[in-house]
Every structure is written in C-alpha cells, then in structure tokens.
C-alpha cells in the first residue's frame, strides 16, 4: 500500500505511527494511506524553517520572484499528470482539476511581481532635514491549513504569496487528498526554492492544534467549515498569532424578470453542480423574482439537469464526478431528506445514483428543490453537494434581503439586463463578493478573495495586496543626518514635523 508522507527537510519517512485512508472516490476503494503527523513532526518542520528562513528573507525580491517564474513553468509542463493525480483522490473530473491548478497558478503569477508589491513609501523632507520611509518585512514562519475541495488552488493562494514575501511556509493539507500538495512542494524545490521554505505536514486535529499552539509560527491561514474556522481563529489569536480563517457559504443567485434565462440555466448548471457542488463559491440557491420568472426558470432547469452527465474523473464527457468520501455522500443525502421532511418540493432526486461499472464509487446525482423557504434548516446550512434550491421571492427587496440576512456572506450573484438594479444590488447586499451576470464571482488574483459574516474570521483577505499585507509587517523609519549643529536643546520635547 502506497504511503503518503510528510515533505519535511531531513525527514526519512517510513509511515510509522497513525495513518489515514486515502480513497479513490471513483471506485470506493482505499488507494493509499497518509501519515498522520504529531507535534514532533511539526517541530522538525519548524526547525528546518527557522534554519532556512533568514537567508531566504535576505534574498532580494527579484531572485525570489525568479523561483516563482520557474515553478510556474514546471507546473505548466506537468499539468496533465498533476491534474490526474488531483482528480484520482478528490474525484473532480480532470478538466476541473486543471482549473483548480490554473487558478492557483494565477496567484503564483501575482507573486512573480513581488518586487513591486513589497515597495514601501517614502517622504522626503517630512520635517527639517527629516525623511520618513517604510518597508514591508516577512513575519518569519507561516502555516496554511487547507480543505479537500481545492488541493492545488488554496495551498498556492497561501504559500505562493507567503514565500514570495520572504517567509517560510508549512502546509497542512486535507488528509483526504494529500498527494498533490506534496508534489507541489517537490516542484518548488526543483524550481530553486531552498529546502525548508515550503514544507508539507499531514495530520488531523492533533496536527492542527500543534500548528495553532506552536510559538514559532507567526501566522496561520485557514479555509474550511465555519465552525472549525471559528475554532482556528480563536485558538490561533489566543496564542498570539495573526489568523485569517475562511469558513462556509450559502451563495445565492438572484434572477430578475428581465434576465436571459437560457444563459442563467447554463450558468447554474456549472455553478451549482460543477465539482459535485464541493465549492465554497458554488451557487446552491437560486432566487427568481416573481412566480412567472420562477416557473419559467424551473421549466428550463429540469431538462438541463436531466442532461447532466455524472461520470468517473477521467471521463472527458462528464460534467462532474463523485464526491470525496462515502461519509460526505451520506451527509448530502441526509440533507436532501431533511429538505423533504421540512416541506420543500423535491423536483429532481439525485439519491441512489449508481454508475455502471463503478457501483461502489461515491456518486450522487444532481438534485433540485423548489419552494424552499428561509425557515428551513436545509436552506440555512451549507450542503456542499450537487443540490440546487429554488427560493421564490415576490420582489427585488425580498430577494436582496435573503443573502443579506443569511448567516453566510461569501458570494452572491444577480442576473439582469438592468444596470440600475445591478448597481443597487451590488451596493446594498451584505455579502463579500458579488457577481453581476457572473455565477461564481471569484476575483482575479491581483484583487482579493474573502467573505463576510460567518464566512470569514479575521481582518485580512486571501491573495492580492490583502495577502501581501497578511504575510508581512510594516516597519517605518524616521531618519535625520545632522550637520553637527546643536539642535537647541529640544531633545526632551516630543518631536513634531513643524
């Protein structure tokens, strides 16, 4: 049985101690085992990071950027094999896996510009003979705790910016699909990054707690469910760390009466069911405004859902593959039953789906509910599966309130031809990321990603300049070069720039 071990400097491996099963979601069979690390494993990684980080921080930014350029070239050259490896453990189709990797590479491209984004500010003559300037310096050692659903993109969101800024970075990926992050660490070394700067440790809650408690780790970035995000935030902050913790989501798509319904249905098919709905930026709730809009949308959605092809990860014709584990499939099916019990109308039922030749795989068919209400727990909570819920709204104001009042505030979209309605919605909705005729409004890498309310804990978002701010600290210098003349005996007066 293949053992997936840590990527730690000086660690000989061997897979001793506790391990976790890594499944092939397409077959339902265990394909590997991953080492579940301990505090001692983390201590080894931290020691290696402490040894390597000062020299890396002292390396000029353009040389660090060249490592990013080379890493990008290596990932692109190995894209097919990396995507197949990712898909084999996650279950998403290979084309979607390539998108996962590509969105991570876009942040690497941003990190290639680190010499520019690390520039400080300078004021000449802030006072008599006094100049003031600032510089951005790395924190030291950072850590990332990432979820199963994007095993390439999210580690690169964190690690590329952190290391480009001069930090050492320790990644704890999901134990469900851990192979691709290890491969990324290997490619960073091949690209010229010093050993100890980007390392991977595996584990469960024991490793997470060790990271949150370790005094040498200055900052932690997390993506996962909201309850765990809140836990990570509180424990990390209590330990004196800088923490950003991204949580769950329940993104809404508002469909105005003037929207192009054919385009909306096409967008919803991908946004609700792509990657089996296992995305924090999926669109699992659609809010048509007015019953006429709702009825027309439902009529078009049913045949579009029936036409979706569920297949194995390597099926080039499949729209989506299996979910990540049998337990997650059971959780999704339980939420579907909850929706039925709460009185929602089950229009398309994806439970019990079996793929011929892969009957033991973790597959679930697309599901559609209508007449879901805000009082239902199946609406309030994140299902994280291929389930689309129709929540009817009588008017624009009601539609605006639904995402604004929801506990999550990650993303939202509005579909309309009316510029005034779109502008009004974008300005007033209480959600962190807004799409206007864009169903999955994930910002480009040089902007920033982050939700509101229970979708995010902490003051700083992922990637873009917000990411640079998170992984650096500002030092401000006030300097004067006296000419040797006495200054009038004002040394005991607080300095001013008058």
Q: Is the pLDDT of residue 66 over 90?
A: yes
Alpha carbon distance, N-terminus to C-terminus of the chain: 73
Which residue in 259, 280, 286, 368 is the catalytic one?
280
Q: What angle do CA 239, 241, 242 make, to 5 degrees?
A: 150
Q: Is the pLDDT of residue 488 over 60?
A: no
112-165 tens-digit pLDDT? 999 999 999 999 999 999 999 999 999 999 999 999 999 999 999 999 999 999
Q: Is the pLDDT of residue 16 over 80?
A: no
Q: Is the pLDDT of residue 1 over 90?
A: no
344-399 tens-digit pLDDT? 999 999 999 999 999 999 999 999 999 999 999 999 999 999 999 999 999 999 99
**Mean pLDDT (whole number) for 482-491:** 66
DSSP characters for 444-479? Answer: PTTS-B--EETTEESS--BSHHHHHHHTEEEEEEEE
Are 344 and 371 in contact by the 8 Å Cβ rule? The answer is yes
Q: Is the pLDDT of residue 486 over 90?
A: no
pLDDT of residue 245: 98
Q: Is the pLDDT of residue 100 over 90?
A: yes
Residue 487's pLDDT band, with cuts at 50, 70 and 90, is: low
pLDDT of residue 45: 98
What is d(CA 303, CA 315) in angstroms, rounded to the nearest whole number?
22
Are 73 and 112 in contact by the 8 Å Cβ rule? The answer is no
What are the Cα distances from residue 354, in Å, to 143, 215, 258, 332, 460? 40, 49, 39, 15, 43
Average pLDDT over the chain, rounded to an integer: 95
Residue 492's pLDDT band, with cuts at 50, 70 and 90, is: low
Residue 118 CA to its chain's centroid (Å): 23
What is d(CA 211, CA 232) in angstroms, rounded to the nearest whole number?
10
pLDDT of residue 482: 87
22-35 tens-digit pLDDT? 999 999 999 999 99
- Based on the residue annotation, tell me whether 280 is a catalytic residue of this protein: yes
Walk me through the domains of the chain, giving residue ranges and CATH numbers. Answer: 2-247+455-477 (3.40.605.10), 252-436 (3.40.309.10)
More confident residue, 487 or 277: 277
Q: Is the pLDDT of residue 490 over 80?
A: no
Give percent helix, percent strand, percent coil of the chain, each to the nearest 5. 40, 20, 40
Residues 6+ apart with CB under 8 A from 207: 36, 37, 38, 41, 42, 172, 201
How does DSSP classify residue 240? T
Cβ neighbours of 118 (radius 10 Å):
18
Q: Is the pLDDT of residue 10 over 70?
A: yes
Q: Is the pLDDT of residue 269 over 70?
A: yes
Q: Is the pLDDT of residue 57 over 90?
A: yes
pLDDT of residue 298: 98
What is d(CA 474, CA 480) in angstroms, rounded to the nearest whole number?
20
Residues 6+ apart with CB under 8 A from 459: 244
Bridge partners (DSSP) listed for residue 198: 169
Residue 95's pLDDT band, with cuts at 50, 70 and 90, is: very high
- CB burial readout 321-356, b (16+ within 10 A) else e: bbbbbeebbeebbebbeebeeeebeebbebeebebe
271-300 tens-digit pLDDT? 999 999 999 999 999 999 999 999 999 999
Residue 260's pLDDT band, with cuts at 50, 70 and 90, is: very high
Q: Is the pLDDT of residue 497 over 80?
A: no
């Amino acid at each position: 049985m293949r053992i997936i071990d840590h990527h730690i400097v000086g660690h000989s491996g061997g897979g001793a101690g506790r391990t976790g099963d890594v499944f092939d979601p397409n077959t339902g069979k265990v394909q590997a085992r991953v080492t579940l690390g301990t505090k001692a494993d983390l201590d080894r990684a931290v020691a290696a990071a402490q040894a390597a980080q000062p020299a890396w921080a002292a390396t000029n930014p353009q040389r660090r950027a060249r490592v990013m350029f080379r890493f990008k070239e290596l990932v692109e050259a190995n894209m097919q094999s990396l995507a197949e490896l990712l898909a084999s453990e996650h279950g998403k189709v290979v084309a979607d896996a390539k998108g996962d990797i590509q969105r991570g590479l876009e942040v690497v491209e941003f990190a290639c510009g680190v010499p520019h984004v690390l520039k400080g500010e300078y004021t000449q003559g802030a006072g008599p003979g006094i100049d003031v300037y600032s510089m951005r310096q790395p924190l030291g050692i950072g850590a990332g705790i990432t979820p199963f659903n994007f095993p390439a993109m999210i580690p690169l969101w964190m690690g590329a910016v952190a290391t480009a800024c001069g930090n050492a970075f320790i990644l704890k990926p999901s134990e469900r699909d851990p192979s691709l992050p290890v491969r990324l660490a290997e490619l960073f070394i091949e690209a010229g990054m010093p050993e100890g700067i980007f390392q991977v440790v595996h584990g469960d809650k024991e490793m997470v707690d060790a990271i949150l408690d370790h005094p040498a780790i200055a900052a932690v970035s997390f993506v996962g469910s909201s309850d765990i995000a809140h836990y990570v935030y509180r424990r990390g902050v209590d330990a004196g760390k800088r923490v950003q913790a991204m949580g769950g989501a329940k993104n809404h798509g508002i469909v105005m009466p003037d929207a192009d319904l054919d385009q909306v249905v096409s967008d919803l098919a991908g946004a609700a069911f792509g990657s089996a709905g296992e995305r924090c930026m999926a669109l699992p709730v659609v809010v048509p405004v007015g019953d006429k809009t709702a009825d027309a949308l439902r009529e078009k959605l049913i045949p579009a859902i029936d036409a979706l092809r569920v297949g194995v990860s390597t099926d080039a014709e499949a729209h989506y593959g299996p979910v990540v584990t049998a337990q997650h499939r059971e959780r999704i099916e339980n939420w579907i039953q909850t929706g039925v019990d709460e009185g929602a109308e089950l229009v398309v039922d994806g439970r019990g789906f079996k793929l011929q030749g892969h009957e033991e795989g973790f597959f679930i068919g697309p599901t559609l509910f209508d007449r879901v209400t805000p009082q239902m727990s199946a609406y309030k909570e994140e299902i994280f599966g291929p389930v689309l819920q129709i929540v009817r709204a009588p008017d624009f104001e009601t539609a605006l309130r639904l995402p604004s009042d929801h506990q999550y505030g990650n993303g939202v979209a509005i579909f309309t031809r009316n510029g005034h309605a779109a502008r009004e919605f974008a300005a007033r909705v209480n959600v962190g990321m807004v799409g206007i005729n864009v169903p999955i409004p994930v910002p480009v890498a040089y902007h920033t990603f982050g939700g509101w309310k229970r979708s995010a804990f902490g003051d700083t978002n992922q990637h873009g300049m917000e990411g640079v701010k998170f992984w650096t600290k500002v030092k401000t210098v006030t300097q004067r070069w006296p000419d040797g003349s006495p200054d009038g005996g004002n040394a005991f007066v607080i300095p001013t720039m008058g």
